[in-house]
Amino acid sequence: MTLWDITQAVRPGIPVWPGDTAYQEERVWTLGPGCPVNVSRLTLSTHTGTHADAPLHYDAAGLPIGAVDLVPYLGPCRLIDVTAGQGPVEPEELSGRLDDAPPRILLRTYRHFPHDSWITAFRAIDCATIERLAAAGARLIGVDAPSLDPEESKDLRAHDAVRRNVMAILEGLVLDAVPEGDYELIALPLKLAQADAAPVRAILRALPMATRAGA
Ligand SMILES: Nc1ccccc1C(=O)C[C@H](N)C(=O)O
Ligand SMILES: [Zn+2]
Ligand SMILES: [Zn+2]
């Protein structure tokens, strides 16, 4: 069974949102003559690397990530390549590509994921595209970009469309190596009880034959 690991490696130096917390590992206990273990302390933003936003991130009354329904993060999905476009991803770029789509849509905007650099001008998702996906039954949208909205956005229109349509969000996915098509998505957020987002280990695998047409 082929697995595609679509998760960024979380390591010191991983690019983070401008001004956000840099990822840090500190060794608190070190394995040696007087100590049987290595134990570290992590310091990181909840939006580090490949992660799931909680509704709390963009809605003061929204659920924290530890309380969200897990169903959107596990099951059939469709990976769609939109690298041919420029600027915010528009609904027209999905024309003819949502027929019988599963309820999870992953959009690839990078030909080569920028593992070691911060790209300010990443491709955001137009809120009309969120509405189009919701109308097609999508319960989750996943992107390789670090946000659904542009870096300088203050009104977060794409996140607000997600909020209104009660969808789940994955950001920072690494989709370069995966051919377009339908897969099983497994990307469960850490159960951080009060947090606004959480890292995920996101993978794709071939759909079992029986569910090729299912949702
Ligand atoms: N760390 C931040 C600090 C301020 C504003 C945005 C961010 C983000 O990380 C964007 C986030 N990933 C998002 O869900 O859009
Ligand atoms: Zn985020
Ligand atoms: Zn977001």
Q: How far apart are CA 79 and CA 47, in angstroms?
A: 22
Tell me the two tokens of residue 145: 């970009």
From 8, 20, 47, the mutation candidate for ligand 1 (largest count of ligand atoms within 8 A of CB) is 47
Nearest alpha-carbon partner for 136 in 178, 181, 91: 91
For residue 197, give the ligand 1 atom closest to its CA. 14
17 has binding-site annotation: yes
197-207, pLDDT tens digit by residue?
Answer: 999 999 999 99
171 has binding-site annotation: yes
pLDDT at 213: 54
Question: Which class for 41: exposed (0-12), middle (13-18), buried (19 or more C-beta within 10 A)?
Answer: exposed
Distances (CA, A) of 12 to 15, 56, 173, 196: 9, 27, 18, 22
ipTM, two decimals: 0.96
Q: Which residues contact 142 (CB under 8 A, 6 or more apart)?
A: 77, 104, 105, 106, 107, 169, 170, 171, 173, 185, 187, 202
35-49, pLDDT tens digit by residue?
Answer: 999 999 999 999 999
67-83, pLDDT tens digit by residue?
Answer: 999 999 999 999 999 99
CA 213 / ligand 3 centre spacing (Å): 30
pLDDT at 99: 98
Instruction: Return the residue whose CA atom lies nearest to atom 8 of ligand 1.
Output: 17
Query: Ligand 1: does its nearest atom lie under 6 Å from the Cβ of 157?
Result: no
pLDDT at 209: 77
47 has binding-site annotation: yes
Q: Which domains are delineated in the chain?
A: 46-212 (3.50.30.50)
Tell me the two tokens of residue 106: 């992953």
CA 200 / ligand 2 centre spacing (Å): 11
Is residue 170's pLDDT more than 80?
yes
pLDDT at 211: 66
For residue 45, give the ligand 1 atom closest to its CA. 1
Nearest bound ligand to the CA of residue 149: 1
What is the SS3 string spanning the chain?
Answer: CCEEECCCCCCCCCCCCCCCCCCEEEEEECCECCECCCEEEEECCCCCCCEEECHHHCCCCCCCHHHCCCHHHEEEEEEEECCCCCCCECHHHHCCCCCCCCCEEEEECCCCCCCCCCCCCCCCECHHHHHHHHHCCCCEEEECCCCCCCCCCCCCHHHHHHHHCCCEEEECCCCCCCCCEEEEEECCECCCCCCCEEEECCEEECCCHHHCCCC
Is residue 212's pLDDT more than 80?
no
Query: Ligand 1: does its nearest atom lie under 6 Å from the Cβ of 45?
Result: yes
Query: Ligand 1: does its nearest atom lie under 6 Å from the Cβ of 83?
Result: no
For residue 148, give the ligand 1 atom closest to its CA. 15
* pTM exceeding 0.90: yes
CA 150 / ligand 1 centre spacing (Å): 10
Indicate which residues carry an active-site annotation: 57
